[in-house]
Amino acid sequence: MSNLLNIGSQAAQANQAALNTVGQNISNVNTDGYSRQQVGLVTMPDLSGVFVQDIERITDQFLTQQVWTDLSSYNQSSTYADMSSRLDNMLASDTQSVSAALDDYFGALQNVVDDPTSIASRELFVAQSDALVQRFNSLDATILSQEETINQQLEGYASQVSTLAESIAALNKNIQIADAANNSANDLRDQRDELTNQLTELVGVAVVDQSSDQYSIFIGNGQPLVVGSSAERVITVQGDPDGSQNELALVIAGNVTNINDSVTGGKIGGLLEYREEALGDARNELGLIAIGFAESMNEQHQAGIDLNNDFGGNLFTDMNSDVLQQQRISSSSNNISNIQTAQVEIQDISQLQASDYELVVGANNKLTLTRNSDGQQISINQLTEVTDPTPLTALTSSDVSNAMASVEQGEYFYDADSGSLSFAVDGIKVTIDTSNALASGDRFLIQPVKTGAEDLSLVIQDGRQLALASPIRVTSGVDNQGTGVATAQVTDSSDIAVTSGELAPPIQIVFNTPDAGTPDSEMTYTIYDMTDADNPVVLELDPLVGPLSDQAFTAGGEIQLDGYSVSIANLPSPGDRFSFGFNEDGVSDNRNAIALSNLQQSELLDNGSYQDVYGSLVERVGTRTASALISEQANKAVLETSTSAKDSVSGVNLDEEAVKLVQYQQAYQASAQLIRVSQTIFDSLLNSF
């Protein structure tokens, strides 16, 4: 009888615990991260009743790990897609598009071509030039603001990661204490999994469930973030050598380890991937266009003369100013060598690449340049070496300077003793001069075009200073009988000498009568110096060549003179002559304006014209954005599938819990009835005496 009472009592307690568990499940049906629980009932031996062995937390660690992986992948692709969509909209917007501003610029230039004497048209062109500069500056500033936003977000996310790591470590400790006291830690485990969910939303991590039911969490290349009850801090540090970008670092026992290159996944991974791949590429491409535009426009503008009869100066910023050249290269803080001079010159815009570079000094003075855009490595020591007859050990500082100055594309000069290095590749020329020799392990970051759009500015503010006319005036002889047409093309305006408004010297080309005594005699010409028109002399540009008389004529061929070249098309007749002088007061001359306008369609850059390159940029960003959006949707579907699978195991099903509620309620009532029966039997037994 007492055994019957014990059985009923134990059954009531067990079923009450089961009812409490069902109630806990039902009340937490909408609680994030809650895993349903169930009572583990075990029969006692010898038909002596039942007891609650444990309250089990229903979960599948494999599915949980899968959700963490998918959650990290989805948040990375979602962050990338969101940032890339903003960039895509910005580049393609008419209010910010450089392509639209270029159309307006060349439209205003065409007005000047049509009427170079119009001051109003000239001023309008200056205004449109300034508007184009502002468009470059504004778009670059917007891209730069995204970079600053990423820096701020990384700092905030790093703080969140550290906080979550500390909370997970604290839960590890509390779970260990609860287990030691034989108390239920199911809710603590749910909280820990939910915090791990939040952590994987931020960054990809590896979670190891130790045998003692303690989470160890690793980040990057396996660096410990949480081990047991201890957690490390994630912080942001200034990039080295690029100080404009924040990077992630892990603080372990006071030692700071940079983990930026090894971090993937989550919102942090998305930000880093976007900054490295899309944002950096866009800013470099925009900078390349700005530099190519400024350099080509300046070069052509300098080949003309303005309304004041002065040669044209820079229309836009001089992209090879000393300040800008020095800003394009930075050295690592860990370098052993001491830099005296370091600069990057834009040497050939047709070879210029929209990329950063990293120069590394290896063992035995091996120099390796890595182009970051495609990872291509260039061994500097395998370029064509600029040599000097004097042994390197005997070179004077003047010899070194001259050798470095003479370096052209595909060449290099390196004096290991003095630490002087100069090389030219991809349209840039890098010059590094140190007070001591370059040392193995030294690193340099080279950013030739990154700030090009930011650096662009308008130099000319007065329409009268626009050099739209050619400085060379071409005059055909009044008695010319042939069909020859002469044109002049400026090659280097600094070599053209003008004295008192006259070309020095003025030139005349006279075609000679073929020698009748020589069969198939070809047409020749003689070039005269017309400084004294009454006493012309045969021109002599180079003593080694001698006087330029009886030169063989080729129709359309170029005749190179000081600072300009002459081309005569068709067929002149003997005695025809063409004079070349300074184009003083050539206010209606638009030859240089036409040359400036023709640059719009010229394939001056590696991938085409200015607008071709910008169009390629917009297309590439659009393609990346579309791909990112597809990846985001795919990762979202995968996450929903894995989350659904996990919820099917760990989630609370109200219908199922309702059935259990009835089941345990009836069992509890039966247990109470068992107790009452025991009591009735006991009372009957007492009354029998």
- Summarised one tens digit per residue, pLDDT across range 228-239 is 999 999 999 999
pLDDT of residue 391: 45
C-alpha–C-alpha distance, residues 410 and 424, integer Å:
6
Mean pLDDT lowest for which of 50-64, 383-397, 429-443? Answer: 383-397
C-alpha–C-alpha distance, residues 146 and 137, integer Å:
14
Asked if the bond preceding 241 is cis, omega within 30° of 0, the reply is: yes
Q: Rounded to 10 degrees, what is the CA torsion of 635, 637, 643, 645?
A: -120
Rg of the chain over Cα atoms, rounded to whole angstroms, equals: 41
pLDDT of residue 127: 97
Per-residue exposure over 161-179, b if at least 16 CB sit within 10 Å of its own CB, e if not: bbbbbbbbbbbbeebbebe
Mean pLDDT of the chain: 90
Q: Among 56-70, 312-326, 513-527, name the most confident range.
A: 312-326
Q: Contacts from 317-324 at CB under 8 Å and sequence distance 24+?
A: 317/455, 317/456, 317/457, 317/459, 318/459, 319/291, 319/294, 319/295, 319/346, 319/452, 319/455, 320/295, 320/345, 320/346, 324/451, 324/455
130-148: average pLDDT: 96
Q: Quick one: residue 402, left, alpha or beta (phi over 0 = left, psi -120 to 50 = alpha)?
A: alpha
Residue 10 has pLDDT above 90, yes or no: no
242-264: average pLDDT: 93
* C-beta of residue 271 within 8 angstroms of C-beta of residue 628: no
* Residue that wins the pLDDT comparison between 360 and 419: 360
pLDDT of residue 578: 97
- pLDDT (tens digit per residue) in 335-371: 998 888 899 999 999 999 999 999 999 988 899 999 9
pLDDT of residue 389: 44
pLDDT of residue 14: 77
Angle at 124 between CA 119 and CA 126, to 5 degrees: 95
pLDDT of residue 634: 97
194 pLDDT tier (thresholds 50, 70, 90): very high
Residue 314 has pLDDT above 90, yes or no: yes
392 pLDDT tier (thresholds 50, 70, 90): very low
pLDDT of residue 186: 86
481-502: average pLDDT: 92
* C-beta of residue 428 within 8 angstroms of C-beta of residue 422: no
pTM (2 d.p.): 0.88
Residue 396 has pLDDT above 70, yes or no: no
pLDDT of residue 171: 95
C-alpha–C-alpha distance, residues 86 and 80, integer Å:
10
Mean pLDDT lowest for which of 171-175, 413-417, 474-478? Answer: 413-417
pLDDT of residue 293: 97
199 pLDDT tier (thresholds 50, 70, 90): very high
Q: Which of 456, 388, 414 is nearest to 133 (CA)?
A: 456
pLDDT of residue 450: 96
Give the C-alpha distances (Å, rounded to integers) separating 536 from 507, 511, 527, 528, 578: 9, 15, 10, 6, 14
Q: How many helices (H) and strands (E) does the chain have?
A: 13, 30
CA 640 to chain centre: 32
Q: Is 127 helix (H, G, I), strand (E, B) or coil?
A: helix
Angle at 436 between CA 434 and CA 437, to 5 degrees: 90
* C-beta of residue 450 within 8 angstroms of C-beta of residue 394: no
291 pLDDT tier (thresholds 50, 70, 90): very high
Mean pLDDT lowest for which of 397-401, 414-418, 613-617? Answer: 397-401
Mean pLDDT lowest for which of 93-102, 209-218, 498-507? Answer: 209-218
Domain boundaries, the chain: 2-58+651-687, 64-273, 329-449, 472-582
* C-beta of residue 196 within 8 angstroms of C-beta of residue 189: no
* Residue that wins the pLDDT comparison between 534 and 17: 534
Residue 394 has pLDDT above 70, yes or no: no
Tokens representing residue 394 in the block: 């005997």
Tokens representing residue 671 in the block: 């247990």
Place of tokens 């060349």: 106
* Residue that wins the pLDDT comparison between 515 and 78: 78
Q: Is 116 helix (H, G, I), strand (E, B) or coil?
A: coil
Residue 395 has pLDDT above 60, yes or no: no
Asked if the bond preceding 572 is cis, omega within 30° of 0, the reply is: no
Per-residue exposure over 330-347, b if at least 16 CB sit within 10 Å of its own CB, e if not: bbbeebebebeebbbbbb
398 pLDDT tier (thresholds 50, 70, 90): low
129-142: average pLDDT: 96
Residue 211 has pLDDT above 70, yes or no: no
290-316: average pLDDT: 96
